[in-house]
Structure 1
Amino acid sequence: MILSHKVQPPGLPRGTITRDRLDEQFAALLESHETIVIFAAAGSGKTVQTRMFATRFGWPLAWLTLDAGDRSPSRLMVYLAEALSGLDPEAPRTVETALAEGFPATEVAAMLAESVADASLLLVLDDCEWLVDADETLAVLGVFLDYLPPGVRTVILSREDLSGPIGRMMMQGRIARMSGEDLALNMDEARTLLAAHGQDGRDPAPLMEATKGWIAAVAFDIVPGLQSENGPDALAGFVSREILARLPEEEQDFLLRTSIPAIVTARAAVALCGEKGYRLWQSLGSRHLPATKADRALVYHPRFRQYLREQLQARLPGELPGLQSRYARLLEEIGMHEDAVETYLEAGELEKAADVAERAVAALSARADWLVLLRWLEAFGNQVVESRPVLLGALLRALYGVRRIPEAQALIGRLHQEGVLGDVAKSDPGAVAFVGYAMQWRPAEALELIRNYEGDFRAEAVRYELEAVAGREPVASPPGRDWVDSERVYSWGLLVQGRLDQLLRMLPDEDDWPPRSFFRTPHPLLALVWRGELALARELLDEVPEAIKFGAHTDLWFFHEAWLLWAEGQTEKALWAAESAVEHSRRTRFGWEPCFEVVVGVLQLTLGRVDDARMTLADAISRSAASGNRCYAEWGQTFQGLAYLRIDRPEDAARVLRTATEAMRAAGRTLMLPFAATYLAEAEARLGHAEAASAAVELAYETANAIGCLFILKNALNDVPGVLRRQIENDVGGTRWRQLVGHQPPEARKRQPAVASERVIVIDVHTHGPVLDLIVDGVPRCSRRTKVLELAAYLTLHPEGVERHRLQERLFPDADPRRGGNYFRQVVHKLRQATGVNLARTSQSHVRWADGLYVDSTDLRFERMIKEAYGLRGAERLERIESTLELVEGPYLPESELEWAEERRHELEVMIVNAAVDAAEVALSLGHLERARQAASFAINRDPFCESAYCVRMQVEGALGAPHAVLAEFQRLTKALAELGVGPTPTTRQLVSELRGI
């Protein structure tokens, strides 16, 4: 149930005044910053000033007032979506669906922020002190702020400082900070406020001296002479006592009793104070209290309410539990079950709390609020939980949700033995799927349990995945449907069976490309890798924020990253990712180490570490076989067979590969079958079994062709090249095997020094060479992120800064302004996450590198060094040019297709070729013939039509006394220029004649 008052701007107290000074300060800060945070004591005027500012400047407004329940990340997302529903009516449904599908709150935060239109909006988060020490929720809030579009500005109001991402963003200059001192009244404002309250002639000086400008004290008309009451906290208590003491006894009693809820509605007043409650609620609503009326409810000033609670405990200690219980019953009646459970727990009524919890756990499970569930269940005690099947189901879900898997397995086993698991399944059919999740590494037991207990559709997905991984016979995939939070297990079953077409249908459609947001289910990425669509796989993987990759399924993301890096040829990085997957799984007790160890073994083999690979794979095979996970045992045997071939033990290789191949074929697990059959063909051939070898390689081809992974078949053939050679020799006149020679992946879808400070961060943008990266203080930070490199390279070319809209257009020329803005924000976020480096925005809306950075790039360094080289002569000039040319191996940003990058690439290539020709001519003049030849050849490799470079090579051959070689060089030049429809110049022809002595 949504509390509507939380997402409505609060009412304004009577006598509120406008404060031009603060309005102008707010406007200036929001012009240059994404967010303002105001950390100030209660009653400092945070809420009123923000409300007044938004009204005066006409900001469209979205408001959320937090409470204790919003310490839960998922609940915070629910209410943020509701607050934004005026701008995007689909926002609540988006969040609800994502949480129901099991996405972590960080991922939901990014989704919600990206769904917000890039339009003018002021989002206010009030009472954020509830998030102090709620590190997980603050992290989620940080992700949300990171992904908001540029048009949205945020104001965060809190009585206490917030650390974590809020503190980080303040240090980066993205968030402006204000304090109670900024909000304090000055003398003119105090005079205006007094006048608004009918006290025009009153001298504000004594009042300001007493209150130090604290607006609540002034607004509540505190008399001068507070003497020792210094500071906002002491003053808050004084104000509360003074107000309470002036009221009739029954109204004091009402205020004490109604301090239980944060929001006092008419129903709450009657529930807590009986029949007179409604009359008193109406009466106090018209009094000048530190409270406001919002949505037909009284909202007490937080410090005022705190004082009332203290007085309630002091004056009526025996009544507190009863009041809490009565209020909990009201919450229960109006459907606010979560809050009712919390209030019953405060009252110590565990049985009643458990009764209501049975109706609340479904909502908490739907948004994966496992920590709250576990706290409740621990508070109820074992005796209460064990007597309630719904709570046992919730306990099972929560234990798995926080990765306390051994405990979940022990609970499942005990409930099954005691005959209680059936009651759990009847009361909570969805819990049956969690039985399967928790027992994945004991699949035989898991399948028996799932088959014995009737669950919902999620159990069907888990059953399919377990049978696909552990069965001896093929299993059909369930009919297609929206699998919600079981999509990962369902898609894993498709993957091990090689159903790549079905997996790829989970990708965004062509009409939705490029995807508006990052792709969230990892397994189709591996289908792209198997198909050889590496650029698309990389694009999708790089779209996933670090907060997601290092969220609930970190090990799986590492696993997929490892395979992609392997396919890209980055073996060392791939091995690190695979070992990280193993380590994370081991640390969290996820249990997937044997599966992840297979890819570790593959990469160790690729690096030539055969002995290490054999040990790794033997462990993976042994543990997988012992647990009944036949699939991963087969994978391990596949590469164990390759390891045996590496050490020339074909008998052992054939033995394990026959076992793996036969098992895969029998069970319909075809993902790794092209590898296994290819390696088996090599083993059989070495043993002299020609027919068996032929049959095995035909099986490899047919399987790869059927599931569309000839790219993977080519990789397997690269491991044992003799297999392909024999097939080509035996297939005279055929083209099938010859086509695999040089087989390429399918075409992919397209898509100034800083001011000195105490510590200067050095950034080097590597725009050329075998490794394109951002090097931050000597450490590579951003390999394979083309967009981030494009952003860094462009800003380095424009140290004075670039207009935001212009920079966005240069990076995303084909995107409309809204999408381009979202994409730009993501790239800046990725730059910041990867490097810790921030960008600065000037008052003219220019974006540039932040102060405190020294930024350089390969291309700019090349230009400087070449210019210096041209100022030298002789051998010194030659050596300087040769060393400079070493910087620019490969073209500038070779993966970039942006117009400005292509222009820069062409500009640099002209300079590079000219420099190489210059070096060749200098070397020739110095008599260094081989160096002259190498420099000229370098120029021709970069520009096949460079006539002057050919002339140098002709002169080298002439100096060596080889007139026939001179003619050969001339013929090569003539052939090259013919492609352009031109021929050599008369000067070159004359040179040839002279060198040949004609």
Structure 2
Amino acid sequence: MTPESAEPAPRPHRHRIAPPGVPAGSLGRPRLDRLLSELFETYSVVEIVAAPGSGKTVQAQLYAAASGLPLAWLTLDKSDVSASALVFDLASALGDLAEGAAATMLNTLQGNGTPDEAAAILASTLGEHDCLLVIDDCHHIAGSADAASAVDTFLEYIAEPVRVLLLARDELPWPLQKRYVHGRIAQLGDATLNLSKQEVAAFVESSGAGPESVQPIFEQTGGWAAGVAFASRFGVGEEPNLRDLSTYFGRQVLDPLPEAEQRFLLDTSVTDAVTRDVAVALCGAEGNRLWSGLSARHLPATSRTADAIVCHSLFRTYLLRQLEDTQPERLRELRAAYARYLASVRQFDEATELWLALGDLDEAQRSAVEALPALYSRADWPVVKRWLEALGEDRVLEDPALIGASVRAVHDLRELEPARRLIRRMDREGRLRGAVEHDPGVLAAAAWAMHAHPHEALGLLDKYEGDASADVVRYMIDTTVSTREVSPPDAQGLAFVERGLSWGLFLQGRLGELARMGPADTDGPILNPHVILAAAFRQDTAEVDRMWLRIPPETRDRPHARFIEAMMDLTRENHAGSRENLRLALADSHRSGFSLEPVYETFAGYLLLLTEGAEPAIAQLRPVLDAMSRTGQTAYIEMTQCFLGLAYLRVDRVAEARLMLRDAVASMTRCRRELLLPLAAAGLSEATARTGNDEAAHENAELAYRLASDMGSFWALIQAVRLFPEIRRREAARDRGDTRWSRLVVAPSSDRAADGPHRPDPGTRRFELQPFGRGRDLYVDGVRANVGRTKLLELLACLALHPKGIDRFELQRRLFPDADQRSGGNHFRQVAHKLRLRTGIVLERQGSLVLLSPSLGLVARDVESERLLAEASALPGPERRRRLLDGLAPVEGHYLEGSCLPWVEERRAHLTLVHEEARIELAMLHLELGEPELARAVCEQILESNRYSDPAYRVLADVERAVGSESSALAVYRRASDALSELGLQPGDARRLARGRHRPTGRPPATG
């Protein structure tokens, strides 16, 4: 069995996800209702910490009824010390409010997620529901930091309208306690819950006692709810200590009942809620009749739901003590009977806990084996590990199911070295075969645990027969070590190994397949962060940002998520951010022994090459290569050879560079690991050119270009030509009619800012600056703000170009170049004030810097346009065309029309050049893709704004030749001659085009 095929965890008992009912005679308490309503106006979480019998549970139900809010209820029990069990119990309690959350949480946990991540997903599914969630008996998680952390995460990510009421006997453990420190939770205690004298009087009156009883009851109980309830009903004359209700329970509740009903209450005290089925299981055939009779009595200290009698915790404690003192063997028999009942209704995990508590290891083993599928499904590995330790090594080693559980638990708890020792021992002793035959999914867990030692892992996969998940693990490992091409398996819906599959696709450069692994919906959480790498290496920054926000926040802090964020930064040229994220990933992986640490170190070496030079990069990469050579992880060896070869080439160690790059290219080509192959092949082109072998240099450059085009990303190739510009110049010079290399960078004049504006979380207001044309304005949540004043737009446009801030005096100089410092300061304050009044935007100060708040996330269409146009360089053919069209769409006129500020005019001229370069490329793409009319329209658009654009005339001549005749091409030449002659220029390029120099046939299109 695999986690994917395992049965889902059973729902908690119905009485745990429903209010336990209000005892007969309970009165409303408007004072507390008002107090809770007032607290919920300020806090989303309120906690009531009070002793048993203080009325917490009753008041929560009374408040829910008075508020009219939709109510979700969860009563915790001992099983909720397991964080994953607690999260699923919460999902059950929330019911339709958390529709679809359970399946997503299962995928999270089976995909190596944590209960905290599942809790964050559950909270996010609630949306903006206006409801009340009550979590009762929170004292059960007092000893579980993991469960408390899951609750804390859940509370962190619930939406504002969701009100949460926690009921506990003692203050909650860390990390929930930090909410007290930060004032993020309101707390009520015993003193607040105690009945006032007026409330005691109302209670006494409702019970039929005389008013003379009010003062004695109030004095002796202090307003303690349980004491008031019993004293009002039975009096206080003979009871000196109302804090000890034992005499009341015995004399006033139990003794008046018939003996059969007394025995029924005692026998059923082993459970916290008694249904008809439980009554029959514990009391035999007569249990059904007795249940009906006691249900009708409405006894003190009990309440009734639709299908259960619930004893107050104080009363149940008294009953259990009576059984333990008078009939200890009977108590043991009843607990065993209840454990058998739990197994009969498939609540195997609770049954196992009971058998372990009773010390019956035979029964515990049987029920544990039955419970394992449910525990696997919710990845409840701490519970599995605790059970195995309680059962003992001898029992575990005799049972293939428990051996498999041991392998799964140590693997999924990330106890990697113990996991490897256990797997080697089980394999050596011949026990692993039985475990795999019983549960084929164990093989995938075992091989995954060993994948830092890939040849051992492959040995296990060859030796035993697993399920489909083992095929995925084999693919992941083969992708890193194989010396031949490996094809990905057809594996759908295997959350347990989805990250392994996607990692293999990434190493092979299968970006299209990797992108298709992303979720089909556009709003739900992304549980596998690897899918973002496809968008990152295609330099689709907007998509990367959108997807990153959909990753549960808890997942983003993992070491491998840090690596993915480093790749996001690397592909957007934010080298400082990439290095920092790699540093964090390495620090965390050092502690955990995570097996992808060599990959992190390799990319860290490449970043050193980009930022500090070749020698530091060589010092970083050389030891990594030596270490990888010993493990046989060929894919990582190739990566390291690629980056090391480039570093050698930068310091002109050509022979060493050529050797490294030749080996990397040969191995990557043979194995079809193509992610970095364009970079390695381009580097080898440069190395061979330096040795004088021009033909080999050209062949490698052609290989690099073709592979980048096939992969759908020119990112790696562009990295190479930035390091070694001669590659591009050399290839462009070989054939002037082949424009692929000269057009590798779409808009060479563009300035793609690596540190763009922060993108706000969903739900925050969106500010968008449209600085183009006469319709320039600010849009707030898509609605035009009609700012009007050019100076406000100039201020926003300038700040958008400096997301990290700009010196205040420099900003004043840019906005008011003709004013002195004092006048400029006064003008600036007035403009900032008007900006706040018109838009609500408040400027921030950090020392001498002025900036927009990062949480504001202002999007400036000029910056977005330039970013999109720069990113188009990474894409081939139709995808490049789409990105260019997206980048040019906002350009509806000149930048900040009407402004004469020097920096605006400079920016305007820059953008005009960038947009013309982009339109030239767009026209050429239209022509190559068989769209000559569209190409002509783009050329005419260019010439309308710049009648001297020689490149536009050249493309237009190609268009006319494709759809018209030689005469129409010559007409274009005459237009070019007339225009350029005004500048004293000769239209030589246009004349050559008019004579019909076509690109040689057989060559691939300019962008693949």
Instruction: State the TM-score bracket (shorter-chain normalisation).
Output: 0.7 to 0.9
Alignment check: 8 A CA contact 2:116 2:149 kept: yes
Alignment check: 8 A CA contact 2:527 2:552 kept: no
Aligned residues: 830
2:584 match:
580
Task: Quote the offset at 1:504 in angstroms.
Answer: 1.0
Task: Quote the offset at 1:339 in angstroms.
Answer: 0.4
Alignment check: 8 A CA contact 2:638 2:667 kept: yes
Give the Cα–Cα distance (whole angstroms) in 2 for the partners of residues 878 and 61 of structure 1.
Answer: 59
| SS in structure 1 of the partner of residue 563 of structure 2 | helix
Give the Cα–Cα distance (whole angstroms) in 2 for the partners of residues 569 and 365 of structure 1.
Answer: 42
Name which of 645, 650, 654 aligns with 1:646.
Answer: 650
1:506 match:
517
Q: Deviations over 1:363-421 (max 9, x none)?
A: 11111111010000000000000001111111101101111111111221122222221
Instruction: Label 1:637 to 1:164 Cα distance change in 2 as closer, same or farther (>3 A).
Output: same
Structure 2 counterpart of 1:5, which letter? H
- Further displaced range: 669-678 or 605-614: 605-614
Give the Cα–Cα distance (whole angstroms) in 1 for the partners of residues 712 and 818 of structure 2.
Answer: 58
Name which of 186, 189, 199 aligns with 2:199.
Answer: 189
Give the Cα–Cα distance (whole angstroms) in 2 for the partners of residues 556 and 341 of structure 1.
Answer: 36
| SS in structure 1 of the partner of residue 387 of structure 2 | helix
Name which of 883, 893, 896 aligns with 2:858.
Answer: 896
Instruction: Label 1:596 to 1:236 Cα distance change in 2 as closer, same or farther (>3 A).
Output: farther
Give the Cα–Cα distance (whole angstroms) in 2 for the partners of residues 541 and 399 of structure 1.
Answer: 30
Structure 2, unmatched stretches of 5+, are: 1-9, 768-778, 785-802, 833-847, 865-893, 911-943, 948-1008
| SS in structure 2 of the partner of residue 203 of structure 1 | helix
Task: Quote the offset at 1:501 in angstroms.
Answer: 0.5
1:289 match:
300
2:236 match:
224
Name which of 404, 424, 435 aligns with 1:413.
Answer: 424
1:615 match:
619
Matched, 1:786 2:790: no
| SS in structure 2 of the partner of residue 341 of structure 1 | helix
Name which of 664, 673, 678 aligns with 1:660.
Answer: 664
Superposed CA RMSD: 4.1
Give the Cα–Cα distance (whole angstroms) in 1 for the partners of residues 72 and 750 of structure 2.
Answer: 47
Matched, 1:455 2:470: no
Instruction: Label 1:274 to 1:520 Cα distance change in 2 as closer, same or farther (>3 A).
Output: closer
Give the Cα–Cα distance (whole angstroms) in 2 for the partners of residues 29 and 527 of structure 1.
Answer: 47
Matched, 1:696 2:673: no
Name which of 554, 566, 583 aligns with 1:547.
Answer: 554
2:941 match:
none
Task: Quote the offset at 1:595 in angstroms.
Answer: 1.8
Give the Cα–Cα distance (whole angstroms) in 2 for the partners of residues 448 and 871 of structure 1.
Answer: 73
Task: Quote the offset at 1:463 in angstroms.
Answer: 1.4
Structure 1 counterpart of 2:236, which letter? P
Q: Deviations over 1:842-888 (max 9, x none)?
A: xxxxxxxxxxxxxxx99999599969x99999687689999999856
Q: Deviations over 1:242-267 (max 9, x none)?
A: 65774567655554443322223344
Q: State, as a whole percentage, how many aligned pairs show the same letter.
A: 32
Give the Cα–Cα distance (whole angstroms) in 2 for the partners of residues 396 and 243 of structure 1.
Answer: 55
Matched, 1:261 2:271: yes
Give the Cα–Cα distance (whole angstroms) in 1 for the partners of residues 343 and 535 of structure 2.
Answer: 50
| SS in structure 2 of the partner of residue 464 of structure 1 | helix
Alignment check: 8 A CA contact 1:102 1:366 kept: no
2:633 match:
629
Trace 1:916-995 onto structure 2 (pairs within 5 A).
937-938=902-903, 940-941=905-906
Q: Deviations over 1:417-469 (max 9, x none)?
A: 22221111111111111012101112222122123322221112111111122
Alignment check: 8 A CA contact 1:461 1:489 kept: yes
- Further displaced range: 480-489 or 359-368: 480-489
Trace 1:696-775 onto structure 2 (pairs within 5 A).
696-741=700-745
Matched, 1:592 2:554: no
- Further displaced range: 625-634 or 362-371: 625-634
| SS in structure 2 of the partner of residue 424 of structure 1 | helix
2:936 match:
none
Matched, 1:5 2:12: no
Structure 1, unmatched stretches of 5+, are: 749-768, 773-783, 795-808, 815-856, 903-908, 918-935, 946-977, 982-998
Name which of 143, 147, 150 aligns with 1:140.
Answer: 150
Trace 1:333-482 onto structure 2 (pairs within 5 A).
333-479=344-490, 481-482=492-493
Give the Cα–Cα distance (whole angstroms) in 2 for the partners of residues 191 and 492 of structure 1.
Answer: 70
Alignment check: 8 A CA contact 1:714 1:743 kept: no
Give the Cα–Cα distance (whole angstroms) in 1 for the partners of residues 82 and 224 of structure 2.
Answer: 32
Alignment check: 8 A CA contact 1:106 1:140 kept: yes
| SS in structure 1 of the partner of residue 484 of structure 2 | coil
Instruction: Label 1:259 to 1:517 Cα distance change in 2 as closer, same or farther (>3 A).
Output: same
Instruction: Label 1:10 to 1:694 Cα distance change in 2 as closer, same or farther (>3 A).
Output: same
Trace 1:238-277 onto structure 2 (pairs within 5 A).
240=249, 246=255, 254-273=264-283
Alignment check: 8 A CA contact 1:533 1:745 kept: no
Name which of 673, 676, 684 aligns with 1:669.
Answer: 673
Q: Deviations over 1:889-918 (max 9, x none)?
A: 99999973389999xxxxxx999999xx9x
Name which of 313, 317, 320 aligns with 1:306.
Answer: 317
2:221 match:
211
2:540 match:
533
| SS in structure 2 of the partner of residue 364 of structure 1 | helix
- Further displaced range: 620-629 or 61-70: 620-629
Instruction: Label 1:588 to 1:743 Cα distance change in 2 as closer, same or farther (>3 A).
Output: farther
Give the Cα–Cα distance (whole angstroms) in 2 for the partners of residues 637 and 413 of structure 1.
Answer: 32
Alignment check: 8 A CA contact 1:84 1:91 kept: no
| SS in structure 1 of the partner of residue 132 of structure 2 | strand
Alignment check: 8 A CA contact 1:260 1:323 kept: yes
Task: Quote the offset at 1:19 in angstroms.
Answer: 1.6
1:103 match:
113
- Further displaced range: 495-504 or 571-580: 571-580
1:825 match:
none
Instruction: Label 1:628 to 1:308 Cα distance change in 2 as closer, same or farther (>3 A).
Output: farther
Matched, 1:159 2:169: yes
1:149 match:
159
Structure 2 counterpart of 1:628, which letter? G
Give the Cα–Cα distance (whole angstroms) in 1 for the partners of residues 196 and 849 of structure 2.
Answer: 61
Give the Cα–Cα distance (whole angstroms) in 1 for the partners of residues 89 and 516 of structure 2.
Answer: 33
Alignment check: 8 A CA contact 1:243 1:289 kept: no
Q: Deviations over 1:461-497 (max 9, x none)?
A: 1111111221111121112522222110111111111
Give the Cα–Cα distance (whole angstroms) in 1 for the partners of residues 91 and 532 of structure 2.
Answer: 29
Give the Cα–Cα distance (whole angstroms) in 2 for the partners of residues 871 and 660 of structure 1.
Answer: 56
Alignment check: 8 A CA contact 2:23 2:300 kept: no
Instruction: Label 1:357 to 1:407 Cα distance change in 2 as closer, same or farther (>3 A).
Output: same
Alignment check: 8 A CA contact 2:117 2:553 kept: no
Give the Cα–Cα distance (whole angstroms) in 1 for the partners of residues 366 and 491 of structure 2.
Answer: 37
Task: Quote the offset at 1:53 in angstroms.
Answer: 2.1
Structure 2 counterpart of 1:535, which letter? A
Instruction: Label 1:76 to 1:54 Cα distance change in 2 as closer, same or farther (>3 A).
Output: same
Matched, 1:680 2:684: yes
Q: Deviations over 1:634-688 (max 9, x none)?
A: 1111111112112221111111111111111111111111111111111111222
| SS in structure 1 of the partner of residue 859 of structure 2 | coil
| SS in structure 2 of the partner of residue 296 of structure 1 | coil
Structure 1 counterpart of 2:489, which letter? P
Give the Cα–Cα distance (whole angstroms) in 1 for the partners of residues 354 and 388 of structure 2.
Answer: 15
| SS in structure 2 of the partner of residue 737 of structure 1 | coil
Matched, 1:115 2:88: no
2:83 match:
73
Alignment check: 8 A CA contact 1:469 1:629 kept: yes
Matched, 1:51 2:51: no
Alignment check: 8 A CA contact 1:533 1:746 kept: no
Give the Cα–Cα distance (whole angstroms) in 2 for the partners of residues 317 and 298 of structure 1.
Answer: 24
Give the Cα–Cα distance (whole angstroms) in 2 for the partners of residues 900 and 240 of structure 1.
Answer: 77
